[in-house]
Amino acid sequence: MTTTETLQATPNAQQKVITTTILVAALGYFVDIYDLLLFLIVGKKSLVELYPHWADQPILLEKFQRLLDLQMLGMLIGGVLWGVIGDKKGRLAVLFGSIILYSVANLLNAFVTSMTSYEILRFIAGVGLAGELGAGITLVSELMDKNKRGIGTMIVASVGVFGAVVAGTISQFVSWQTCYIIGGLLGIALLFLRIGLFESSMFNKAHDANIPQGNFFMMFTKGERFARLLICVLIGLPLWFVVGLLVARAPEIAKILHVQGTIQQAYCIMAAYGGLVLGDFACGGLSQILRSRKKALLIFYGICIFMMLTYLNLEAVTNTIFYVAIFLLGVSVGFWAVFVTNASEQFGTNLRATAATSVPNFVRGSLVPIAWCYSLVLGANNGDVIKSFYYVGGGVMLITLIALYFAKETFGRDLDFYEK
């Protein structure tokens, strides 16, 4: 008896498989986010310990940015690579392969002794980290009922982003080497939980029917399909503008606004991702109540605009109020689950993993051109940080709202179809 036949014959067994898949995918994304954000938290500290003479020198930020860029480059490449593998070889192949790669890379990060080895391992880790979310969301979406899959993907994303909070907390008590070791061992341990997972029946059906699968270049062979891909990317831009610029540069913003007290980067990330956990639950639940991905996203875009304006006007407040504002800013961009679910629902089974895996990583990679635009605007505004954030943030939100207008509503869509 095939896997598909077994699940169809025993509804209770099918529900058990779905529950297990959601749990394992959520824990996988938890480890993924832990490892992804860990470098932002301990990266500078690790470089200072490796090269003490870099402390308080411009070269420290330069080398840190280089490592971050290599990690993001790895994620861009991995987003395409794992997406293609997910559509050609199966969703489970990605869930196993990606976690092995980034877990081993992060484990070895604890033992780096040179910049060269650090660069190689951050790139490899980036490639591995790119596959986890897309494959998990695709598998959960294809296993669940079309009217309830938003609940499953909401749980996966919400549990996952909590990994950043745990990474920030652990980093306060142990060395950066131990932080990397914990992340690597968590990933390796999770492999054992994945042994009992079932492959998507939709993937098996397409594979058995010899449907062309995982051809990334199909995304560009039709204007309408490429437009769908581009729209999926653009509607996710606000999240990484907020996390990659407004939160990442929170200590700098706090100084300009004369915030009272010390602002620590680790606490900023913990606050923002704590908000993201709540936001993902709220946005996912709102999407189910409204039976619409687009309406839920529009509401959260409005909240995001309000919080960005509030955050950039917190003149002379206490550091506690500032951290609360960062938390609420995180809540406002807690639409990651709905965003990724939308990407998986926009494309047929033979390109679904490719889309769901590449789109989030393209959004992460968008931080590079957004940051470049910010630097240009900053120069044009004579170094006025706050005004420059207004201009760039306004541009990002305008682009995103236009993209949402043209996006197709996918709530309740039957996913058993193919791209031709």
**Is residue 220 a part of any domain in this protein?**
no
Contact 107, 101 (CB under 8 A): no
Last residue of some domain: 174, 197, 220? 197
Q: Is 177 exposed, middle or buried (0-12, 13-18, 19+ CB in 10 A)?
A: middle
For the segment 78-97, what is each residue's pLDDT rounded down to a tens digit?
Answer: 999 999 999 999 999 999 99
pTM attached to this predicted model: 0.87
Residues 184 and 253 in one domain: no
Amino acid symbol at 186: L
Counting the structural domains of the chain, the total is 2
Residues 9 and 94 in one domain: yes
Closest CA to 115 of 65, 174, 78: 65
pLDDT of residue 2: 39
The residue with tokens 């309740």 is: 412
**Is residue 272 a part of any domain in this protein?**
yes
Last residue of some domain: 197, 223, 256? 197
Q: In the numeric block, which tokens belong to residue 204?
A: 């098996």
For the segment 52-84, what is each residue's pLDDT rounded down to a tens digit?
Answer: 999 888 898 889 888 988 998 899 999 999 999
Alpha carbon distance 88, 350 (integer Å): 8
Q: Over range 310-332, report the average pLDDT.
A: 96
Question: Three-state SS for 420?
Answer: coil
Residues 274 and 133 in one domain: no
Residues 193 and 248 in one domain: no
**Is residue 342 a part of any domain in this protein?**
no
**Is residue 228 a part of any domain in this protein?**
no
Residues 259 and 153 in one domain: no
**Is residue 420 a part of any domain in this protein?**
no
Residues 190 and 244 in one domain: no
Residues 184 and 324 in one domain: no
Contact 399, 236 (CB under 8 A): no
Please tell me the least confidently modeled range out of 3-17, 75-89, 362-376. Answer: 3-17
Q: In the numeric block, which tokens belong to residue 139?
A: 């598998």
**Is residue 343 a part of any domain in this protein?**
no
Residues 19 and 168 in one domain: yes
Residues 57 and 149 in one domain: yes
Residues 396 and 295 in one domain: yes
CATH of the domain at 176: 1.20.1250.20
What is the extent of the structural domain holding 379? 237-334+366-409
**Is residue 227 a part of any domain in this protein?**
no
